[in-house]
Amino acid sequence: MRLKDKVAIVTGGAQGIGKAYVSGFSKEGAKVVVADIDLEAAKATAEKVVEDGGETLAIRTDVSSLEDTEEMARKTVEHFSRIDILINNAAVFGRVKISRGTPFYELDLDEWDKVIAVNFKGVLLCSRAVFPYMKAQGGGKIINIASSQFFTGGVGKVSYAHYIATKGAVVGLTRAFARELGEYNINVNCITPGSTFSEDLTDIAALEHRKLAAESRCIKRVEYPEDLVGTAIFLASSDSDFVTGQTIIVDGGDVMH
């Protein structure tokens, strides 16, 4: 087990890609905190981990809240005594509907602010919250989740400038944090998923949409949350101790950067 006895926090861990990270990390021996704004969903995900023999904790966390993120880190340390890994996965996109196809000059500014607060500011606040504990224990791993759409600017004529801008900002934060935190033995890296079918398996319309994205890939199939887990485990494990400030694109060979 590559993550045996490590303590990992996964924000937005109650569903979709975050839920896959929770499950995958637990199977590798990690004790996993499911941090999500939907506490009931977080508890349900945590219960499944326990049923499978893992150790976990569910914490309601609004990543755009300073108080919530600090409490997330504090409760994690109170329960598990340390924080080894943080996955900044929480984002506004699929589960919280945002405007798609709306030109940037027509976007609702309240929605713009909400997307930035969760997708961008959330990465800052969660990273700040865990930093003192990682520093005190001599190191840690921070994994930020961006999107391959940062490299493409969107998909076809479908635009969502606020989402893409925040994902570009996450790549920038990854590099800046890596520079600042390297002296504390804290690695900071980024994963950029492609279009991933993280919806309910019965959502046929969503599946068809994801199939369209597969046409431009080298590996011509739908991307699922489980396709991202191996890369996250690598970045969370000792195998990546000399890797920092990097962005790894996991999209089946669509974007090559």
Catalytic residue list: 163
The answer to whether 248 and 231 are in contact (CB under 8 A) is: yes
For the chain, the maximum distance between any two Cα atoms, rounded to a whole number of angstroms, is: 50
> Measured between alpha carbons, how far is 257 from 248 in angstroms, rounded to an integer?
9
| φ, ψ (nearest 5 deg) of residue 155 | -120, 115
Structure tokens at 141: 């791993």
Give yes or no for a contact between 244 and 190, defined as CB atoms under 8 angstroms apart: no
Note whether 85 and 236 are within 8 A (CB): yes
Question: What is the distance between the alpha carbons of residues 86 and 134, in angstroms, rounded to a whole number?
Answer: 10
What are the φ/ψ torsions at residue 87 (nearest 5 degrees)?
A: -110, 110
Q: What is the DSSP string of 98-165?
A: ---S--GGGS-HHHHHHHHIIIIIHHHHHHHHHHHHHHHHT-EEEEEE--THHHHSSBTTB--HHHHH
User: Among 57, 72, 243, which residue's Cα sits nearest to residue 141?
Assistant: 243
Long-range contacts of 210-216 (CB under 8 A, 24+ apart): 213/155, 213/254, 214/252, 216/254
